[in-house]
Structure 1
Amino acid sequence: MKKTKPNKLKILNDPIYGFIQIPNTLIFDIIEHPYFQRLRRITQMGFSNLVYPGANHTRFHHAIGCMHLMQKAVRVLRFKQIEISNEEENALYIAILLHDIGHGAFSHALEHSIVNGISHEEISLKFMKKLNDEFDGKLKLAIEIFEGKYHRKFLCKLISSQLDIDRLDYLKRDSFYTGVTEGNISSDRLIAMMNVKEDELVIEKKGIYSVEKFLIARRLMYWQVYLHKTGLVAENMLVNVLKRAKELAEKGVELFATSSLKYFLYNEISQDNFTGKTLEMFSKLDDYDVLSAIKEWTNHEDKILSLLSKMIVDRKLLRVEIQQDKFEENYINKRRKKVSKKFDITTEEATFFVFSQRISNQAYSSGKPIYILNKNGNLLDIAKASDQLNLQALTNPVVKHFICYPK
């Protein structure tokens, strides 16, 4: 009996863009790969769902959405007589599809607790190189573009810049799932206004208001969603839970954990010893490993680990205060002394419950400008081209300080 080949030219239904087409069989095979399927088990927004209950979408949703927007961008640029070869087109789809593949469980929390000294971008690159070996070198050009090393710079800018495809998807998607309408940008309009001049990715002058709205939406989403105080405190508590678990593991204390989480708790992982085996273990680590461990740790005999875990599971989070100025050391120490007395722990251990940090938000950096293409063919930085006075203000980073402590 003749074996039928599976249909690889699938269509996916996305709540934001409607039908998304998988362009070819290679892309289909990359999406089917276990490394990519892992993104289904990593939330796009960490603990933001403790504030916005709808924010349960995953990195998988986002990556597929980015690929869809990249298809639109390629169509628009070709229509404007910008030459993009089939090989370059495919490389763009692969690079944008895999740009976030190195994110760990709960996105940024792992980077600050149990996997140190190596960023998610570097891990993404390791995954891409491994996939390149498996797919007989077919990802070589995608890797070059992802690293920003390809000679046609505008292709690299589509992957990573201040107005890249990644931002065009996550702002619209996060706005949709959180219900925060201030972030709802017109990604279609922005892509329709894209052009290339002197190897720069530019926006035509008639798209200037869409860019202004995009920058303001980004600023509002940061303060309202990404840096929301409840999300901030939950993420920092998660970092502290993992740090405490790592401390206990180093002392040889027995901890419940899945095999992949155990590997990262009981081994010191850094850039220098991030081997092929480490990558394999990382590819099996996702939100479910971390959540199941935290649920189990609520019963652990270590007071700090169990208390922090209980607080996260029951959403009884620490109180948070935010202000413009740095908190006085004296004020922080007073809080720590109170906590050490209340929980009968040392003041050193109280740092897990009382901590202060700074957050900053810069909506636009003139160091890597978004260029507006004038009718006369000149390029102007959006901050200078815009008649919006507040765009100039958006180039200044806004810094705030926060302190967390038990209620």
Structure 2
Amino acid sequence: MSYATEKLSEEKVFKDPVHRYVHVRDRVIWDLIGTREFQRLRRIRQLGTTYLTFHGAEHSRLNHSLGVYEIVRRIIDDGFDGRPDWHPENRLLCLCAALLHDLGHGPFSHSFEKVFHLDHEDFTQEIILGKTEVNAVLRNVHKDFPKHVAEVIAKTYKNKLVVSLISSQIDADRMDYLLRDAYFTGVSYGNFDMERILRVMRPREDQVVIKSSGMHAVEDYIMSRYQMYWQVYFHPVTRSAEVILTKILHRAKQLYEENYTFKHDPIHFYSLFQDKLELEDYIKLDEAVIMFYFQAWEEEEDSIISDLCRRFMNRNLFKYVEFNPNKQMMDLMELMGLFKKAGLDPEYYLVVDSSSDLPYDFYRPGEEEERLPIHLLKPNGDIRELSRESEIVEAISGKRRTDHKLYFPQDILEDQTSKRAIKKKIREILGI
């Protein structure tokens, strides 16, 4: 028996709060779960700073990765096996890509990436293709197998049906994170009938299609996604925490570039600050490391970094007001001047943050971001794009919603011990 087809002597089962059980029978999958790089995902929260808004949101990228694997396993083993257009030799490739799709996420994921101009997908590929334990396991399948797994995750693999299981507008990744994030945040918005969707998924040439009888379950899924983005992922309190986190990292980098002497030397950040981040350094970064420095930097002489770290660690976050960049830019310019007079650096204490989401889109040829539409399989075998059949989806299709907020430290602006007149003027402009 080859390594690629080797089964464990007994099926391994993980208890899971969302899917009840995650089943592992393949030796390759079991070995991947045990690698250093996969286990690191225990130390990366799935939802970044959201735990400061929804206290239950402490679940990890590892939880989610196992969930995506389980959904793909069920789609293939329970739904696709024996159907036309499905080739069983793609099974292990799909399972490995599902399990490893988030392997390159860094601490506090997207905020961290934004500051240091990184892309977790690049690191996912580096881990899969580099000198790592994950690569060693995948190479045992076949010397080209790591490359194929990386291509599926990067959406460049030749078989688009395989790619669509992991990355499309209705894929295993999205289905798991909506259900999992709803569960751990305690909200009901993200719940939809996944069981029904799995039953009506069918392999079709270059993508997964949905039997038209399951259209209403798909409508429910799309509306769940819409609600989760605006009620959870873009929650203004979570965004406030992200703003402070981002500003801490910016400040630390600026101090380093100014040859500031840290009381607690940020050795884990050196390669980041120097734009020379090696894969090994990246793998050693996790949220425990970042939090250690934030706690240490509370004691720094620099008043900005110490204040921001105290705010983050103790959840003393910035407040916010709605902001319209088309109508209020003059107000923003005036506020920046007043903040300076009040002794507050507007670079760190007056921040515009924008959120934007496109809940569903039809195919737009030539656009950089792939938006493979959801297709329905009619009883006569015809294929129809979802928004042409569903009035609900048509109503939101292609419509991007964008929201802007202005963040600031209200506690300082309400402090009457200094700069009272200036702070009063600031409060008047902000309307607080």
String of CA shifts for 1:253-283, please: whole Å, max 9, x gaps.
Answer: 2332564334323x224xxxx5xxx111100
Aligned residue for 2:178? Answer: 171
Aligned residue for 1:245? Answer: 252
Aligned residue for 2:28? Answer: 26
Alignment partner for residue 376 of structure 1, among 365, 380, 383? 380
Give the drift of 1:42: 0.4
Worse-matched range after superposition: 124-133 or 297-306:
124-133
For normalisation by structure 1, the TM-score amounts to 0.89
Distance of 1:351 and 1:47 partners within structure 2: 21
User: Does 2:286 correspond to 1:279?
Assistant: no
String of CA shifts for 1:141-165, please: whole Å, max 9, x gaps.
Answer: 3223223333321111111111111
Q: Specify whether residues 211 and 323 from structure 1 end up closer, same or farther in structure 2 by C-alpha distance, changes over 3 A only.
A: farther
Alignment partner for residue 397 of structure 1, among 395, 400, 404? 400
String of CA shifts for 1:356-401, please: whole Å, max 9, x gaps.
Answer: 132211100112211111112111111111132x543242001121
SS in 2 for 1:157: helix
Correspondence 1:8-407 to 2 at 5 A: 9-75=11-77, 76-86=79-89, 88-113=90-115, 115-116=116-117, 118-130=118-130, 131=132, 133-135=135-137, 136=139, 137=143, 138-255=145-262, 256=264, 259-265=267-273, 267-269=274-276, 278-323=278-323, 326=326, 328-342=328-342, 344-345=343-344, 349-367=345-363, 368-388=372-392, 391-407=394-410
Percent same amino acid at aligned positions? 28
Worse-matched range after superposition: 235-244 or 246-255:
246-255
Q: Specify whether residues 336 and 249 from structure 1 end up closer, same or farther in structure 2 by C-alpha distance, changes over 3 A only.
A: same
Distance of 1:29 and 1:198 partners within structure 2: 31
SS in 2 for 1:320: strand
Structure 2: which amino acid aligns with 1:220? Q
SS in 1 for 2:407: strand
Give the drift of 1:336: 2.7
SS in 1 for 2:284: coil
Distance of 1:246 and 1:279 partners within structure 2: 20
SS in 1 for 2:239: helix
Distance of 2:354 and 2:326 partners within structure 1: 8
Distance of 2:405 and 2:250 partners within structure 1: 20
Distance of 2:135 and 2:37 partners within structure 1: 14
Taking only aligned residues, the RMSD between alpha carbons, in angstroms, comes to 2.0
Alpha carbons 1:327, 1:403 under 8 Å: kept: no
SS in 1 for 2:259: coil
Structure 1: which amino acid aligns with 2:282? F
SS in 2 for 1:183: coil
SS in 2 for 1:309: helix
May I ask how many residue pairs the two structures share in their alignment? 386
Structure 2: which amino acid aligns with 1:381? E
Alpha carbons 2:362, 2:397 under 8 Å: kept: no
Distance of 1:148 and 1:350 partners within structure 2: 40
Give the drift of 1:133: 4.5
For normalisation by structure 2, the TM-score amounts to 0.85
Distance of 2:9 and 2:307 partners within structure 1: 51
SS in 2 for 1:162: coil
Alpha carbons 1:297, 1:306 under 8 Å: kept: yes
Distance of 1:33 and 1:185 partners within structure 2: 33
Give 5+ residue unaligned stretches, structure 1.
1-5
Q: Specify whether residues 312 and 208 from structure 1 end up closer, same or farther in structure 2 by C-alpha distance, changes over 3 A only.
A: same
Distance of 1:317 and 1:326 partners within structure 2: 26
Distance of 2:9 and 2:289 partners within structure 1: 33
Distance of 1:210 and 1:381 partners within structure 2: 15
Alpha carbons 2:42, 2:62 under 8 Å: kept: yes
Structure 2: which amino acid aligns with 1:92? C
Structure 2: which amino acid aligns with 1:242? L
SS in 2 for 1:249: helix
Aligned residue for 2:368? Answer: none
Distance of 1:338 and 1:13 partners within structure 2: 55
Distance of 2:377 and 2:321 partners within structure 1: 44
Give the drift of 1:314: 1.4
Alpha carbons 1:8, 1:28 under 8 Å: kept: no
Q: Specify whether residues 7 and 375 from structure 1 end up closer, same or farther in structure 2 by C-alpha distance, changes over 3 A only.
A: closer
Q: Specify whether residues 133 and 101 from structure 1 end up closer, same or farther in structure 2 by C-alpha distance, changes over 3 A only.
A: closer
SS in 2 for 1:173: helix
